Amino acid sequence: MKTESLTIGGRSYSSRLIVGTGKYPDLDIMRLSIDASGAALVTVAVRRIDLSQRGGGRSLLDYIDTSRVALLPNTAGCTTADEAVRVARLGREAGLSDLVKLEVIGDERTLFPDNEGLLQATRVLVKEGFTVLPYTNDDLVVAKRLRDAGAAAVMPLAAPIGSGLGIQNAVSLRLLLEEIRDLPVIVDAGVGTASDAAMVMEIGADGVLMNTGIAGAGEPIKMARSMRLAVEAGRLAYESGRIPKKLYATASSPMERLVRDDS
């Protein structure tokens, strides 16, 4: 059974799971993990070429089958709108992709986004024809501003990047999902294990983006498969319409014609 696909900026992807390409033990494990995750979109970072290693070694793109998996360059590490715009432009040239995962970081220890910078950069990049996916916090008002600025999706965090804490503010996230219905909401960051991913999908997220949760696991390839199943399970549960929660028991078997001692 297949859940409907994820559509961002007019393009459809066969999986609701987006995975990162950083922090794997090696590039072969990364490649096999991407395969196991079923992801159709993977994030990549933009960095200076190390001039001391000229010509040597294989590059990341030798390990990604770009005929099956689309690239989503990010602006990780940028702390101002100007820096993020610059890196986005470079990423477009290097990755031949109009998609950008826009990060403007406002705080070093938490890696929380700088919403003012994020909005500024979104406006500039949308004007330049980018499909902008901003990494934001779980704030409905900011999400609305990003939508109005022309973002193609909003990507609120579940918990700090790389923390593996799972959803920390379920109410905020659920309110955001209730109110932002006209563009995809992809929960980005904080997923630690399969149940976190399933939970995100059960409350109605359109997709999940994760990196450390897979790359940092003891067995990344196995965890990638686990996340794939969790995202599918969570989405199916969401589409199925769960039962209401009740405080007391309701019997599942008939209460009539019970076998009794009639004496």
Active site members: 101
Tell me if 112 sits within 8 A of 79, measured CB to CB: no
* Region near another protein per CB under 8 A, out of 54-62, 143-151, 191-199, 248-256: 54-62
Strand pairing report for 6-8 and 11-13:
antiparallel
Confirm or reject binding of residue 95 to another protein (CB under 8 A): yes
Cite the DSSP H helix spans in 62-193: 81-95, 115-127, 140-148, 170-179
Confirm or reject binding of residue 38 to another protein (CB under 8 A): no
Measured from the CB atom, the residue of 71 and 177 that comes closer to another protein is: 71
* Region near another protein per CB under 8 A, out of 85-93, 139-147, 167-175, 234-242: 85-93
Q: What token pair was written down for 34? A: 């991407």
* Region near another protein per CB under 8 A, out of 51-59, 114-122, 150-158, 249-257: 51-59
With CA atoms as reference, report the closest residue to 202 among 162, 164, 167, 154: 167
With CA atoms as reference, report the closest residue to 167 among 206, 211, 137: 137
How many Cα atoms occupy the beta-carbon half-sphere of 8 within 13 Å?
31
Confirm or reject binding of residue 174 to another protein (CB under 8 A): no
Confirm or reject binding of residue 222 to another protein (CB under 8 A): no
Q: Under the rule (CB under 8 A), what is the footprint of another protein?
A: 20-24, 27, 30, 43-49, 51, 54-56, 59-61, 71, 73-74, 76, 86, 89-95, 161-162, 189, 209-212
